[in-house]
Amino acid sequence: MSSVTVSKPPPVPRQRLLRGDRHRQLIEVAWRVVREDGTEALTLGRLAEQAGVTKPVVYDHFETRSGLLAALFRDYDARQTALMDEALEASRPTLKDRAGVIASCYVDCVLAQAREFPGVVAALAGSPEMDKIKRDFEATFIAKCRSLLSPFTGNGVIAPAGLWAMIGAAESLSYAAANGDITPTQAQGELVETITAMVERASRPSLG
């Protein structure tokens, strides 16, 4: 009986990418690992293995696991901003439309990564990276919303407390929708009502 020699396919050569393209690839692979295996499975070594690169390549981009998780948070923030900017371009300059864009983009972004994003936030909880990133995210989001909504008030002023309450409502409603406690439509509708009420309250003349 003659033996048959089975030749192994040649190894797939590593693809050389520009630094920006490699960073994008590593981010996408990291999200996939978190989605399929959970945040605990995401290490720099695992990312290198899944992306088909050497560990030094991954360390050069992120340095630490916390740095990688922080990069995922920034990626989420950038996509939320891009989605909102695109929606604003297509919307009418009315309070209802502006509130609708803010509500739908916030809720949709949470739902789009409802499985991955909470784990990333939890893994970064209490770290200096997370504290700074979250503060920067909230400050940028508040500034953007203030710019969008202030023209609909009588004096162009919205109190900071109202904007912080809006962020709290947006986060709570989005995660309630992600957990199935309410529907996405209900979450967006309630958030629109919250935003509209905040602006209308700011439009009333002060009694003091």
**Domains delineated in the chain:** 18-63 (1.10.10.60), 72-203 (1.10.357)
Kindly tell me the burial class for residue 184, based on how many C-beta atoms sit within 10 Å of its own C-beta (0-12, 13-18, 19 or more). middle
**Full pLDDT tens readout for the chain, 208 residues:** 444 444 444 444 455 778 888 999 999 999 999 999 999 999 999 999 999 999 999 999 998 998 999 899 889 889 888 989 999 999 999 999 999 999 999 999 989 888 788 888 888 777 777 788 888 888 999 999 999 999 999 887 899 999 999 999 999 999 999 999 999 999 999 999 999 999 998 877 654 4
* pLDDT for the residue 161: 93
User: Do 75 and 98 meet the contact criterion of CB atoms below 8 Å apart?
Assistant: no
Q: What is the DSSP string of 178-193?
A: HTTSS-HHHHHHHHHH
Distance of CA 197 to the CA centre of its chain: 26
Token pair 């003091």: residue:
208
- Single pTM value for the model: 0.78
What is the token pair recorded at 17?
Answer: 């990418």
Q: How many CB atoms lie within 10 A of CB 178?
A: 20
Q: How far is it, in rounded angstroms, from Cα 48 to Cα 186?
A: 41
Of 168, 169, 165, 80, which is closest to residue 117 (Cα–Cα)? 80
* pLDDT for the residue 3: 46
